[in-house]
């Protein structure tokens, strides 16, 4: 009854057509992180930030989960042990692919948050800066996204899951952003077998016991079939 904990990053959504952050044509090539993914950037120019997420929300609605998302959902359904997915992604491709036990540690495009009273509600497809909070009425609506310098969600729960993992897997993440990039070290301390799925070793690739190099739609699908056959 092996417990499997899976961390995913932008690379698992790449083959669905969502650009990653750090590819040449990626999201950070088009925008400065400081301007669109920090609370300071939001305070400075809320319209720019809200529109950055409006564009990504629209794009996420246009694309579909790929074979890697579906393979993880099949693993959760058919594996005899617990399977937990922790995603850094803000798209909803894991949900649409069928994954149930899922944590969006960096928030999600489908959520809106009141910067004044912390109320959360489903985000409209198009948010505008200054939209009123449906609960307190303050003109303080923001995307429910964890920006740089903000605390990722559910960290205590995630630490518990990682401490119980028999297998820890990272799929399509460059290992640049903490605390997510530190999860593999936590998993190793807990005695888990660690596997990295990527096109190339990540910034923390040397901490993984095993590497599966190639596009996630192929490598993850093959690995899930192996796990379910044992
Ligand atoms: C926090 C939401 C503290 C926004 C995101 C100095 C040293 C260490 C840390 C820091 C430091 N200075 C500041 C920090 C902290 C900072 C950080 O780590 N900065 C880095 C840049 C140095 N971290 C934070 O601020 C975090 N918060 O630390 O809080 C705190 C403590 C107490 C109290 C309060 C606060 C919050 C970080 C969250 C930021 N939000 N996302 C949005 O989406 O717009 S980060 C964003 O980039 C993603 O969510 C993701 O986490 C991150 C990295 O992206 P990846 O998913 O890895 O994507 P990337 O493009 O980089 O890589 C894609 C990979 O896929 C590649 O490896 C590629 O090879 C591979 N790939 C591509 N195609 C495929 C593929 N693999 C397989 N198949 C394919 N087909």
Please write the tens of the pLDDT for every residue from 106-142.
999 999 999 999 999 999 999 999 999 999 999 999 9
Q: Residues 174-210: pLDDT tens digits?
A: 999 999 999 999 999 999 999 999 999 999 999 999 9
pTM: 0.97
In the DSSP assignment, the letter for residue 198 is E
Q: Residues 10-34: pLDDT tens digits?
A: 999 999 999 888 877 777 778 888 8
pLDDT of 1 higher than 80: yes
Place of tokens 């599966």: 212
Instruction: State the Cα–Cα distance between residues 141 and 116, nearest whole angstrom.
Output: 8
DSSP E strand boundaries for 38-183: 83-87, 102-104, 107-114, 120-122, 141-145, 167-171
Q: What angle do CA 95, 192, 154 make, to 5 degrees?
A: 45
Using CB distances shorter than 6 Å, the residues near ligand 1 are 9-11, 14-15, 20-22, 26, 37, 88, 90, 106, 145-152, 172-174, 176-178, 180, 197-200, 202, 215-216
Instruction: Look at residue 21 in the predicted model and tell me its pLDDT.
Output: 84
Place of tokens 């028999």: 166
Instruction: Look at residue 28 in the predicted model and tell me its pLDDT.
Output: 75
Contact 135, 112 (CB under 8 A): no
DSSP E strand boundaries for the chain: 4-8, 83-87, 102-104, 107-114, 120-122, 141-145, 167-171, 193-198, 210-213
Instruction: Look at residue 30 in the predicted model and tell me its pLDDT.
Output: 81
Contact 127, 109 (CB under 8 A): no
Contact 159, 132 (CB under 8 A): no
Instruction: Look at residue 27 in the predicted model and tell me its pLDDT.
Output: 76
Name all domains of the chain by residue range, CATH numbers in brackets: 1-17+65-106+152-230 (3.40.50.1220), 19-62+107-145 (3.30.1600.10)
* DSSP per position, 79-105: -SS-EEEEE---SSHHHHHT--SEEET
What's the mean pLDDT when you consider all of the chain? 96
Mark whether 106 is an active-site residue: yes
Q: Residues 54-72: pLDDT tens digits?
A: 999 999 999 999 999 999 9
Instruction: State the Cα–Cα distance between residues 186 and 137, nearest whole angstrom.
Output: 42
Instruction: Look at residue 23 in the predicted model and tell me its pLDDT.
Output: 77
- Torsion 190-166-208-151 (CA) sign: negative
Instruction: State the Cα–Cα distance between residues 49 and 65, nearest whole angstrom.
Output: 25
Instruction: Look at residue 29 in the predicted model and tell me its pLDDT.
Output: 76
Q: Please report how the helices 216-229 and 67-78 are oriented relative to each other, as an axis angle in degrees rounded to 10.
A: 20
Choice among 69, 94, 106, 108 that is catalytic: 106
Pick from 6, 7, 9 the residue to mutate for probing ligand 1's pocket: most ligand atoms within 8 Å of its CB.
Answer: 9
């Amino acid at each position: 009854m092996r417990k499997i904990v899976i961390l995913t990053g932008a690379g698992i959504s790449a083959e669905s057509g969502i650009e990653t952050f750090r590819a040449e044509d990626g999201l950070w090539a088009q925008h400065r992180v400081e301007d669109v993914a920090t609370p300071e950037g939001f305070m400075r120019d809320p319209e720019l930030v809200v529109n950055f997420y409006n564009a990504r929300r629209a794009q996420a609605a246009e694309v579909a989960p790929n074979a890697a998302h579906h393979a993880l959902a099949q693993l959760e359904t058919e594996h005899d042990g617990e399977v937990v997915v922790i995603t850094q992604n803000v798209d909803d491709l894991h949900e649409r692919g069928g994954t149930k036990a899922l944590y969006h540690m960096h928030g999600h495009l489908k959520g809106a948050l009141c910067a004044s009273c912390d109320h959360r509600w489903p985000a409209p497809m198009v948010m505008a800066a200054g939209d009123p909070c449906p609960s307190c009425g303050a003109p303080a609506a923001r995307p429910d996204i964890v920006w740089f310098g903000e605390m990722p969600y559910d960290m205590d729960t995630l630490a518990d899951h990682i401490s119980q993992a028999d297998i820890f897997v990272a799929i399509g993440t460059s290992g640049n952003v903490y605390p997510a990039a530190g999860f593999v070290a936590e998993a190793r301390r807990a005695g888990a077998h660690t596997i990295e799925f990527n096109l190339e070793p990540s910034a923390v690739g040397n901490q993984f016991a095993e590497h599966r190099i190639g596009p996630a739609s192929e490598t993850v699908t093959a690995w899930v079939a192996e796990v379910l056959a044992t």
